């Protein structure tokens, strides 16, 4: 086709067309390479996630027993759940919407975990990040989108970072255990943001919420009529960035060294205190960014109690995802599906939403019991898995 | 006059010995921990089990206590064949063991700890505290071991906690008591108290096996001593008929002396200057007492000494891993007393740590990642702000794998999958390839086979001949002897003497290590 066009058209146009084709080809090539890379990453991850997959199946099995005992048909319930979560574009959109914030909090948990820290305060970092983004979103009116959105996102990340920095310093300087401090700070965040939207920042009306953010601060919705927003791109990007940071940078190297063997890291000239502070602060920033994305993309205002515990889910998703970024992407889709599908299930079959929560809990429970899963695998004749670990 | 009894044949002893172990062999991957060991202890005897770290003392006793199962060999308790499958079986047979790390519950009282597991009860449910206290009290009086029974364990000093451990074993009906390096955690005064208690036990007819690598102690408390070396029995001697230097000889052995070509430098230049260094040990006691010495370029300064006399603390103070309480450390004229490890690495300090798996390597890191540890944040590996130049690191890793013949499938294999000798090569490759000015090498050949040992020693001498100052800390006297240009002897946190190896006898050195004062 192009050859014939070239002969017919004047030279100038040919050059323009050729350039256009070359660019297009390059773009296609790049996308292809990226997709190949991602699929390779996922392919490498999948076999490692066999125990997780078994755990999910087990969870559904035990969940079925619970359903039978409570007098519901497990088949109907699961069908409703699945079709609700993946059955149509709307379902898929809702599933991904629910998955997005969990990706952030799970990555936050992962990053701190790689440094040997248990940041279980992602919920608090998520909330302060969300609130900071809302405030920046409300406060400016005349800014261009490409300034306002990054600014609000950055505000969220910075607020989350601060919320991670406090327990980090307490740990590094005073030895205060981060499990206690991050969890306690979560409650502080919950009530401080609660106070803020009930008093200084309360919008007129009876709901404890802020006014809507400016249009210029909104992250676009990408799959109308669902609430899925561009925040999911930020999430996927962050997953890639986390992988890169952990594997290819000095920060990641030091963080992992401390997490695996603090004594040897110290001998190798790595400052453990610095590493702890850095890891928890970055972890907080990740959760805060998630909160910001949620406000700018989904709610467009800070509403008291808008998070149904995304921070806590992050911990579970990080574990179910096998503590790596690619696995976290997959696991967060599962948890998103349980949330969105659970709601659909309640609507269509009157099975209470709690069943979805029970399923979530069971998945985590079975993932946390690797010995049981290993035993089942062995019984199932899959001895290779045992020998490969 | 000394008399050595080499592995006494069974008919030699008429009365059945309390413990008799025959032909015990225990292999671990790559190591023979116990090689056909014959070991017998008479009833009512305090029997020392002496040997260097890794000689197989603890393994042998863990077999007796049922923690390990021997690959070969038989155990007889009071002349009867015994199958000891577990510690509870050992306790059943009247064997008790006090480990180096105590197994007490810190929040419970002394009495509660002693009766833990078989406490007197009311109606089979409720603890009978009165009865407990009475029975334990009576018990303590019988063995003349005084403890405040109502005090919670965590409030007591280590020496007393140890006494509780001993009481616990006795309360469970132990007639044979194994003490694993009991003095390693004690102050000299506490150790004296312990010896009194052990003698009291002997009077009560108990049999005690005393594991130690401290010559003086063994001579002070034991009736007989069995010396192990590299998993074999060297001999059994009566304590009254031997002395420290003879025991040292048996313990260390006269192995092959490695000989090396050493170049002599034209000018002497001080690389490391340590002055009046003081530092606290882990337990908060002064572990280094006013230590002063210099190490020159083109020199290996060996530190000889029984382990636990401040060597570990000295190494940590020199590498920046332990805070210095007083004194100065100068590296090539620069004061580094308060400098963090990263600064010292940058200034040219290399460290071959005593425990390579804990301090030296990150076991789950790949060979490559381990090789750049310490230089990972500097060019050529960290080129831009934070990015690690993986290509540069890979080339570097490939080069070192070749140069130090590191036996690994590839540079991405985790260090965990390598053998002990290869892991040490990995540490050496990293530490020696940074152009160090000073190398602090702590027990560099511990646990290595002959080939790997030779490699490490050759490399050390090689580095010396290239102008490095080397501080060599080793429990292996042969090693110190073969490599050092000068030998400093450490005892109780002090450098008690600096000797020229050519003009010093092994016996003299042994005595200095044992704390003897020589004119």
Burial B479-509 (b: 16+ CB within 10 A, else e): bbbbbbbbbbbbbebbbbbebebeebebebb
Residue whose pair of structure tokens reads 């519901």 in the numeric block: A72
Is the pLDDT score of B408 beyond 90?
no
Give CB contacts under 8 A, 24+ apart, made by B400-409.
B400/B371, B400/B429, B400/B430, B400/B433, B401/B367, B401/B429, B403/B429, B403/B433, B404/B428, B404/B429, B404/B459, B406/B367, B408/B367
| Alpha-carbon distance B436 to nearest alpha carbon in chain A (angstroms) | 14
CB contact under 8 A, B388 and A265: no
Is the pLDDT score of B403 beyond 70?
yes
Residue A42 falls within a domain, yes or no? no
Q: Which of B358, B376, B386 sits opposite A264 (nearest CB)?
A: B358
E-strand stretches of B59-157? 72-77, 80-81, 95-98, 121-122, 126-127
Q: Which of B341, B346, B382 sits opposite A266 (nearest CB)?
A: B341
- Under the banding of pLDDT at 50, 70 and 90, the label for residue B14 is low
CB contact, 8 Å: B31 with chain A? no
**pLDDT average, residue stretch A23-29:** 78
Tally of CB atoms within 10 A around B261: 7
CB contact under 8 A, B386 and A268: no
pLDDT tens-digit map of A167-190: 999 999 999 999 999 999 999 999
CB contact under 8 A, A248 and B346: no
Query: From CA A63, how far away is CA A222, in angstroms rounded?
Result: 34
Is the pLDDT score of B3 beyond 60?
no
Question: Which range (A192-196, B50-54, B89-93, B242-246) has the least confidence?
Answer: B50-54
- Under the banding of pLDDT at 50, 70 and 90, the label for residue B386 is confident
Residues of A whose CB is below 8 A from B363: 260-261
| Count of pairs with CB atoms under 8 A, one residue in A, one in B | 68
Range of the domain at A347: 52-375
Question: Which range (A82-86, A355-359, B360-364) has the least confidence?
Answer: A355-359
pLDDT, residue B507, reads 73
**pLDDT average, residue stretch A217-239:** 92
Residues of B whose CB is below 8 A from A269: 340-346, 374, 377
Cis peptide before A253 (omega within 30 of 0): no
pLDDT, residue A110, reads 96
Tokens of A276: 């702890």
Residue A211 falls within a domain, yes or no? yes
pLDDT, residue B11, reads 54
| Nearest Cα residue in chain B from A245 | B387
**pLDDT average, residue stretch B256-283:** 78
- Percent of chain A residues topping a pLDDT of 90: 62
| Nearest Cα residue in chain A from B379 | A250
Query: From CA A76, how far away is CA B339, in angstroms rounded?
Result: 68
Residue A182 falls within a domain, yes or no? yes
* Residues with Cβ within 8 Å of residue B503, at least 6 apart in sequence: none
Is the pLDDT score of B258 beyond 80?
no
- Cβ atoms of B391 and B399 within 8 Å: the answer is no
Residues of B whose CB is below 8 A from A271: 340, 342
Query: From CA B435, how far away is CA B220, in angstroms rounded?
Result: 47
Q: Indicate if ipTM > 0.85.
A: no
Q: Which of A250, A256, A268 sits opposite B386 (nearest CB)?
A: A250
- Under the banding of pLDDT at 50, 70 and 90, the label for residue B255 is very low
Is the pLDDT score of B266 beyond 80?
no
Residue A135 falls within a domain, yes or no? yes
Query: From CA B476, how far away is CA A46, in angstroms rounded?
Result: 50
Residue A111 falls within a domain, yes or no? yes
Query: From CA B193, how far away is CA B279, in angstroms rounded?
Result: 26
- Cβ atoms of B508 and B518 within 8 Å: the answer is yes
| CATH for A142 | 1.10.3470
| Alpha-carbon distance A241 to nearest alpha carbon in chain B (angstroms) | 12
Outline where A49-88 has alpha helix (H): 50-69, 74-86
| Nearest Cα residue in chain B from A244 | B387
pLDDT tens-digit map of A116-166: 999 999 999 999 999 999 999 999 988 999 999 999 999 999 999 999 999
Tokens of B511: 């005595």
CB contact, 8 Å: B195 with chain A? no
3-state secondary structure of A10: coil
Residue A17 falls within a domain, yes or no? no
Query: DSSP letter string over B483-502?
Result: H-SEEEEEETTEEEEEE-GG
- Percent of chain B residues topping a pLDDT of 90: 40
CA angle B50, B56, B57 (to 5 degrees): 40
CB contact under 8 A, A253 and B388: yes
Is the pLDDT score of A1 beyond 50?
no
CB contact, 8 Å: B383 with chain A? no
Burial B430-459 (b: 16+ CB within 10 A, else e): bbbbbebbbbbbbbbbbbbeeebbebbbeb
Residues of B whose CB is below 8 A from A268: 341, 345, 373-374, 376
pLDDT, residue B447, reads 66
Question: Which range (A1-15, A31-45, B500-514) has the least confidence?
Answer: A1-15
CB contact, 8 Å: B13 with chain A? no
Query: From CA A327, how far away is CA A106, in angstroms rounded?
Result: 10
Nearest in space to B70 (alpha carbons), one of B24, B23, B31: B24
- Cβ atoms of B363 and B357 within 8 Å: the answer is yes
- Percent of chain A residues topping a pLDDT of 70: 92
| Nearest Cα residue in chain A from B345 | A269
Outline where A170-271 has alpha helix (H): 178-198, 231-248, 250-260, 262-267
Of A63-77, A274-288, A354-368, which one has max mean pLDDT? A274-288
Tally of CB atoms within 10 A around B326: 13
Element holding B331 (H helix, E strand): strand B326-331
CB contact, 8 Å: B363 with chain A? yes
CB contact, 8 Å: B129 with chain A? no
Backbone angles phi and psi of B223, in degrees to 5: -85, -45
**pLDDT average, residue stretch B281-299:** 91
| Alpha-carbon distance A197 to nearest alpha carbon in chain B (angstroms) | 40
**pLDDT average, residue stretch B128-147:** 80
Q: Cβ-count burial of A154 within 10 angstroms (0-12 exposed, 13-18 middle, 19+ buried)?
A: middle
Averaged pLDDT of chain B: 85
- Cβ atoms of B46 and B221 within 8 Å: the answer is yes
> In A, what residues contact B, Cβ < 8 A?
248-251, 253-254, 256-257, 260-261, 263-271
- Cβ atoms of A56 and A316 within 8 Å: the answer is no
**pLDDT average, residue stretch B223-251:** 86
Tokens of B105: 């519950």
CB contact under 8 A, B340 and A271: yes
Q: Which of A248, A257, A264 sits opposite B388 (nearest CB)?
A: A248
Is the pLDDT score of B172 beyond 80?
yes
- Percent of chain B residues topping a pLDDT of 70: 91
| Alpha-carbon distance A7 to nearest alpha carbon in chain B (angstroms) | 47
pLDDT, residue B257, reads 43
CB contact under 8 A, A249 and B373: no
**pLDDT average, residue stretch B471-499:** 88
Mutate to test the interface with A, among B372, B373, B383 (most CBs of A within 10 A): B373
| Alpha-carbon distance A275 to nearest alpha carbon in chain B (angstroms) | 13
Of A6-10, B57-61, B206-210, which one has max mean pLDDT? B206-210
More confident residue, B118 or A309: A309
pLDDT, residue A34, reads 63
pLDDT tens-digit map of A92-115: 999 999 999 999 999 999 999 999
Is the pLDDT score of B8 beyond 60?
no
Nearest in space to B374 (alpha carbons), one of B334, B434, B455: B434
Structural domain count, chain A: 1
**pLDDT average, residue stretch A311-324:** 90
Is the pLDDT score of B122 beyond 60?
yes
pLDDT, residue A158, reads 98
pLDDT tens-digit map of B27-56: 877 678 898 999 999 999 999 998 876 678
CB contact under 8 A, B386 and A251: yes
Nearest in space to B491 (alpha carbons), one of B519, B518, B515, B516: B515
Residue A168 falls within a domain, yes or no? yes
**Number of helices (H) and strands (E), helices first, in chain A?**
17, 0
Residues of A whose CB is below 8 A from B360: 264, 267
CB contact under 8 A, B376 and A250: yes
Residue A20 falls within a domain, yes or no? no
Rounded alpha-carbon distances, angstroms, from residue A254 to A164, A245, A268, B472? 18, 11, 10, 29
The pTM assigned to this predicted structure is 0.72
CB contact under 8 A, B344 and A269: yes
**pLDDT average, residue stretch B444-460:** 79
Domains along the sequence of chain B with CATH = 10-252 (3.40.50.300), 258-348+435-519 (3.40.50.300), 364-434 (no CATH)
Q: Can you give the three-state secondary structure of B256-320, one letter per residue?
A: CCCCCCCCCCCCCCEEEEEEEEEEECCCCCEEEEEEEEEEECCEEEEEECCCCCCHHHHHHHHHC
pLDDT tens-digit map of A61-78: 999 999 999 888 899 899
Residues of B whose CB is below 8 A from A257: 362, 365, 373
- Cβ atoms of B220 and B314 within 8 Å: the answer is no
- Under the banding of pLDDT at 50, 70 and 90, the label for residue B184 is low
Is the pLDDT score of B256 beyond 50?
no
Query: From CA A48, how far away is CA B417, in angstroms rounded?
Result: 19
pLDDT, residue B503, reads 85
List the beta bridge partners of residue B349: B438
- Under the banding of pLDDT at 50, 70 and 90, the label for residue A253 is very high
Query: DSSP letter string over B343-411?
Result: HHHHTTEEEE-SSIIIII--TTSBHHHHHTTTTTTSTTTB-SSSBB-HHHHHHHHHHHHHHTT---S-T
């Amino acid at each position: 086709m192009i050859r014939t066009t070239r002969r017919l058209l004047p030279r100038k146009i040919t050059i323009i067309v050729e350039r256009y084709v070359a660019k297009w080809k390059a773009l296609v090539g790049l996308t292809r390479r990226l997709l190949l890379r991602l699929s390779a990453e996922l392919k490498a991850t999948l076999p490692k996630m066999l125990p997780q997959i078994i755990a999910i199946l087990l969870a559904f099995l035990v969940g079925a027993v619970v359903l039978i005992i409570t007098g519901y048909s497990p088949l109907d319930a699961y069908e409703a759940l699945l079709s609700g979560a993946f059955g149509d574009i709307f379902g898929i959109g809702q599933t991904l919407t629910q998955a997005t914030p969990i990706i952030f909090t799970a990555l936050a948990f992962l990053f701190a975990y790689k440094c040997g820290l248990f940041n279980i305060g992602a919920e608090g970092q998520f909330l302060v990040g969300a609130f900071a983004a809302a405030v920046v979103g409300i406060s400016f009116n005349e800014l261009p989108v490409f300034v306002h959105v990054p600014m609000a996102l950055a505000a969220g990340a910075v607020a989350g970072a601060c919320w991670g920095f406090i327990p980090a310093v307490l740990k590094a300087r005073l030895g205060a255990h981060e499990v206690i401090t991050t969890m306690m700070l979560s409650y502080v965040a919950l009530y401080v943001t609660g106070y803020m939207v009930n008093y200084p920042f309360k919008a007129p009306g009876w709901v404890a919420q802020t006014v809507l953010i400016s249009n210029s601060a909104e992250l676009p919705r990408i799959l109308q009529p669902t609430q899925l927003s561009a925040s999911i791109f930020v999430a996927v990007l962050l997953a890639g960035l986390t992988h890169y940071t952990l594997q290819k940078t000095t920060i990641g190297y030091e963080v992992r060294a401390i997490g695996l063997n603090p004594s040897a890291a110290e001998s190798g000239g790595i400052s453990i205190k610095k590493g702890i502070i850095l890891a928890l602060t970055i972890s907080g920033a990740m959760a805060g960014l998630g909160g910001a994305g949620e406000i700018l993309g989904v709610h467009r205002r800070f509403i008291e109690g808008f998070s149904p515990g995304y921070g806590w889910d992050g911990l579970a998703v990080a574990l179910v995802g096998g503590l790596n970024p690619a696995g976290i992407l997959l696991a967060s889709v599962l948890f998103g599906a349980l949330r969105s599908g659970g709601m659909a299930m309640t609507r269509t079959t009157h099975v209470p939403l709690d069943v979805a929560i029970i399923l979530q809990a069971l998945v985590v429970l079975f993932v946390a019991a690797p010995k049981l899963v290993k035993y089942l695998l062995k019984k199932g004749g899959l001895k290779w898995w045992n020998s490969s670990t | 006059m000394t008399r050595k009894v080499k592995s006494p044949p069974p008919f030699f002893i008429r009365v059945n010995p309390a413990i008799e172990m025959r032909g015990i062999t225990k292999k671990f991957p790559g190591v023979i921990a116990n090689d056909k060991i014959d070991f017998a202890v008479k009833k009512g005897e305090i029997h020392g089990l002496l040997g260097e770290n890794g000689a197989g003392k603890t393994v042998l006793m863990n077999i007796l206590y049922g923690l390990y199962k021997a690959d070969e060999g038989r155990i007889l308790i009071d002349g009867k064949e015994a199958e000891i499958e577990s510690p509870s079986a050992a306790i059943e047979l009247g064997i008790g063991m006090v480990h180096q790390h105590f197994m007490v519950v810190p929040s419970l009282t002394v009495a509660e700890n002693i009766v833990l597991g078989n406490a007197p009860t009311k109606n089979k449910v409720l603890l009978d505290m009165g009865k407990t206290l009475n029975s334990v009290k009576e018990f303590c009086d019988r063995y003349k071991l005084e403890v405040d029974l109502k005090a919670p364990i965590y409030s007591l000093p280590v020496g007393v906690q140890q006494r509780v451990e001993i009481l616990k074993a006795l309360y469970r009906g132990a007639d044979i008591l194994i003490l694993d390096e009991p003095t390693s955690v004690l102050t000299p005064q506490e150790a004296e108290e312990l010896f009194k208690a052990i003698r009291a036990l002997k009077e009560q007819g108990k049999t005690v096996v005393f594991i130690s690598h401290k010559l003086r102690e063994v001579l002070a408390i034991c009736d007989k001593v069995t010396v192990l070396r590299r998993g074999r029995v060297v001999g059994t001697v009566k304590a009254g008929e031997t002395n420290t230097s003879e025991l040292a000889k048996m313990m260390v052995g006269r192995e092959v002396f490695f000989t090396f070509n050493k170049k002599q430098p034209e000018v002497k230049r001080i690389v490391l200057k340590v002055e009046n260094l003081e530092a606290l040990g882990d337990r908060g006691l002064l572990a280094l007492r006013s230590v002063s010495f210099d190490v020159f370029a083109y020199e290996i300064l060996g530190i000889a000494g029984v382990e636990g006399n401040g060597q570990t603390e000295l190494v940590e103070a020199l590498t920046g891993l332990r805070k210095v309480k007083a004194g100065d450390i100068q590296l090539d004229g620069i004061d580094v007393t308060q400098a963090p490890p990263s600064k010292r690495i940058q200034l040219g300090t290399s460290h071959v740590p005593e425990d390579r798996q804990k301090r030296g390597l990150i076991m789950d890191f790949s060979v490559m990642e381990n090789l750049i540890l310490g230089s990972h944040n500097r060019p050529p590996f960290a080129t831009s702000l934070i990015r690690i130049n993986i290509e540069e690191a890979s080339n570097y890793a490939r080069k070192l794998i070749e140069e130090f013949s590191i036996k690994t499938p590839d540079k991405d294999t985790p260090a965990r999958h390598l053998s002990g000798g290869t892991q040490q090569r990995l540490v050496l490759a990293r530490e020696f390839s940074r152009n160090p000015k000073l190398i602090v090498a702590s027990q560099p050949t511990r646990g290595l086979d002959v080939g790997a040992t030779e490699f490490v020693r050759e490399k050390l001498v090689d580095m010396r001949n290239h102008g490095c100052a080397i501080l060599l800390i080793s429990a292996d006297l042969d090693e110190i002897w073969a490599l050092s240009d000068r030998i400093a002897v450490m005892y109780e946190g002090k450098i008690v003497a600096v000797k020229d190896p050519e003009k010093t006898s092994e016996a003299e050195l042994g005595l200095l290590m044992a704390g003897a004062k020589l004119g």
